[in-house]
């Protein structure tokens, strides 16, 4: 096992998702304890003391946003934050596109408790067969007084509404998610105002993904001090990592922060499929810069170590790339995706993605020009910091990251009008 585990602590069986099994494992025990014994400020303080960072592509402490959300709303006329007793929303993307949601129920978060209506919204962004199960069981939970106007008879009110999305990548961005939830095109919004001031339906809204929320029950159950002993000083806890690509044992693993990444790839996941050699990994979703096999050796699974190596943890969607894979074709797939998913609001992203896609298609088609590689870098750099959301930047990071390490493959492709690696993305067959 890759370190200690906090979320994947039970065997997955045909009934492990049911409310009965969850309660038999002690589920909602923390909720009862917290509702009976803790004030909202104590909960916020405990979560802050745990040092947990949000398990999203751009991590931030969830307690900080919870605090600002509970205390302010915004004036529609002056945009000034003011104290409020009005309703608040906690928004939890249940289905981050780059990896599956964790096998745990929403439990034990009382940070938003205050006078007024409170609403927890879960937003599964893709329609798929797994989603009806939590929705059915959540309704059962409601009947059993785990949700509603007076949870467990304490007077604490929390509603949970599950929404299905249509599957747009940019709706994984917090403000785009809220806009789509309001029934409009999922366009990300310019900030300020922050979402904790003016979010869903103009109300203060905290957006944390379900993996982050799932950790809160554990923190409140074991206490912040015990939680901080798991992982590293700057990245306490664990993270769910979905590993795919040319790897022998793909799947979702829970990794303790600080765990050696090479050990994880080579030992826990069985190394490269078919006994091949590792070329590189995409560490945390395609927006993170690739790390070569040699660069990976000293890296441990935590934010500081990945930053030191020149990349990031991102969303925990790791892709293993085997030796022999064509990096030109890989970048083509990535840029096609970014172009397709650009919402089109910002000129640098809308036009830049299209331009980059056109250039990479030209190279792969055998019509590459000598200046094409530098042009890809120029467009990437021009996009950096000029767009509403991070997607414009992200495509540039991925492109610059691959070109910095595998430029020779691109030059070969332009010069010889074919791939040095036979243009394959599939894992090569090894004897
Ligand atoms: S950066 Fe791209 S995806 Fe993000 S808001 Fe602008 S056009 Fe839309």
Q: Please give the residue that has the higher pLDDT: either 124 or 245.
A: 245
Distance 296 CA to ligand 1 centre (A): 31
Q: At residue 65, does pLDDT exceed 70?
A: no
Using CA atoms of 28, 34, 36, 37 in order, give the dihedral in degrees to the nearest 10.
150
What is the predicted pLDDT for the residue at 50? 92
Of 110-119, 291-300, 310-319, the range with the highest mean pLDDT is: 291-300
- Beta partners for residue 280, in sequence order: 292, 321
Helix (H, G, I), strand (E, B) or coil at 83: coil
Average pLDDT, the chain: 81
118: confidence class by pLDDT, cuts 50, 70, 90: very low
According to CATH, what is the number of the domain 238-322? 3.10.20.600
The ranges assigned to domains in the chain are 19-73+84-228, 238-322, 327-416
27/105 Cα distance (integer angstroms): 8
Number of the ligand 1 atom closest to the C-alpha atom of 392: 1
Output the residue whose Cα is nearest ligand 1's atom 8.
343
Q: At residue 342, does pLDDT exceed 50?
A: yes
User: Could you report the per-residue pLDDT of 345-399, keeping only the tens digit for each?
Assistant: 999 999 999 999 999 999 999 999 999 999 999 999 998 889 999 888 888 999 9
Give the list of residues 6+ apart from residue 249 with CB closer than 8 angstroms, or none: 268, 269, 270
Helix (H, G, I), strand (E, B) or coil at 81: strand
- Beta partners for residue 82, in sequence order: 73
What is the predicted pLDDT for the residue at 62? 64
Distance 338 CA to ligand 1 centre (A): 10
What is the predicted pLDDT for the residue at 74? 41
Pairing of strands 118-122, 159-162: parallel
Ligand 1 neighbour 131 (Cβ under 6 A):
no
What is the predicted pLDDT for the residue at 86? 53
Q: Which two three-digit tokens encode residue 369?
A: 């020009």
426: confidence class by pLDDT, cuts 50, 70, 90: low
Q: What is the mean pLDDT of residues 123-149?
A: 55
Contact, 306 vs 299, CB < 8 A? yes
According to CATH, what is the number of the domain 19-73+84-228? 3.40.50.11540
What is the predicted pLDDT for the residue at 58? 59
Q: CATH number for the 327-416 domain, one of 3.20.20.70, 1.10.579.10, 1.20.1440.230, 3.30.70.100?
A: 1.20.1440.230
34/154 Cα distance (integer angstroms): 11
12/30 Cα distance (integer angstroms): 22
Distance 265 CA to ligand 1 centre (A): 33
User: Could you report the per-residue pLDDT of 203-224, keeping only the tens digit for each?
Assistant: 889 888 888 888 998 999 999 9
User: Could you report the per-residue pLDDT of 138-190, keeping only the tens digit for each?
Assistant: 566 566 678 888 888 888 888 888 787 777 889 888 999 999 999 999 999 99
289/402 Cα distance (integer angstroms): 7
Q: Which two three-digit tokens encode residue 284?
A: 């945390």
Ligand 1 neighbour 391 (Cβ under 6 A):
yes
108/221 Cα distance (integer angstroms): 9
Supply the pTM of this predicted model: 0.82
């Amino acid at each position: 096992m890759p370190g200690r585990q906090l979320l994947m602590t039970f065997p997955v069986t045909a009934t492990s998702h049911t409310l009965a099994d969850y309660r038999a494992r002690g589920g909602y025990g923390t909720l009862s304890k917290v509702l009976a014994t803790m004030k909202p400020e104590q909960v916020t303080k405990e979560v802050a003391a745990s040092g947990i960072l949000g398990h999203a592509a751009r991590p931030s402490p969830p307690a900080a946003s919870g605090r600002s959300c509970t205390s302010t709303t915004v004036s529609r006329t002056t945009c000034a934050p003011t104290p409020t007793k009005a309703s608040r929303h906690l928004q939890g993307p249940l289905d981050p596109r780059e990896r599956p949601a964790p096998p745990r129920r929403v439990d034990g978060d009382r940070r938003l408790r205050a006078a007024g209506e409170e609403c927890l919204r879960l937003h599964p962004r893709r329609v798929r067969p797994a989603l009806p199960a939590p929705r059915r069981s959540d309704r059962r939970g409601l009947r059993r007084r785990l949700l509603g106007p007076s949870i467990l008879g304490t007077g604490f009110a929390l509603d949970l509404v599950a929404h299905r999305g249509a599957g747009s990548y940019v709706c994984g961005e917090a403000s785009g998610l809220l806009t789509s939830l309001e029934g409009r095109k999922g366009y990300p919004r310019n900030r300020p105002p922050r979402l904790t001031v003016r979010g869903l339906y103009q109300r203060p809204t905290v957006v944390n993904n379900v993996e982050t929320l799932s950790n809160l029950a554990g923190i409140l159950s074991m206490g912040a001090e015990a939680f901080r002993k798991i992982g590293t000083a700057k990245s306490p806890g664990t993270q769910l990592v979905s590993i795919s690509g040319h790897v022998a044992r793909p799947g979702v693993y829970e990794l303790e922060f600080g765990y050696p990444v090479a050990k994880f790839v080579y030992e826990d996941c069985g190394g490269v499929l078919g006994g091949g050699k590792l070329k590189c990994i995409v560490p945390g979703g395609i927006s993170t810069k690739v790390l070569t096999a040699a660069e990976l050796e000293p890296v441990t699974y935590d934010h500081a170590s990945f930053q030191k190596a020149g990349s990031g943890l991102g969303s925990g969607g790791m892709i293993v790339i085997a030796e022999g894979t064509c990096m030109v074709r890989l970048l083509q797939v990535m840029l096609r995706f970014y172009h397709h998913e650009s919402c089109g609001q910002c000129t640098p992203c809308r036009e830049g993605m299209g331009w980059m896609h056109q250039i990479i298609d030209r190279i792969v088609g055998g019509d590459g020009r000598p200046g094409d590689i530098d042009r890809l870098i120029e467009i990437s750099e021009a996009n950096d910091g000029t767009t509403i959301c991070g997607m414009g930047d992200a495509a540039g990071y991925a492109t610059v990251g691959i070109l910095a390490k595998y430029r020779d493959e691109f030059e070969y492709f332009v010069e010889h009008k074919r791939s040095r690696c036979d243009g394959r993305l599939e894992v090569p067959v090894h004897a």
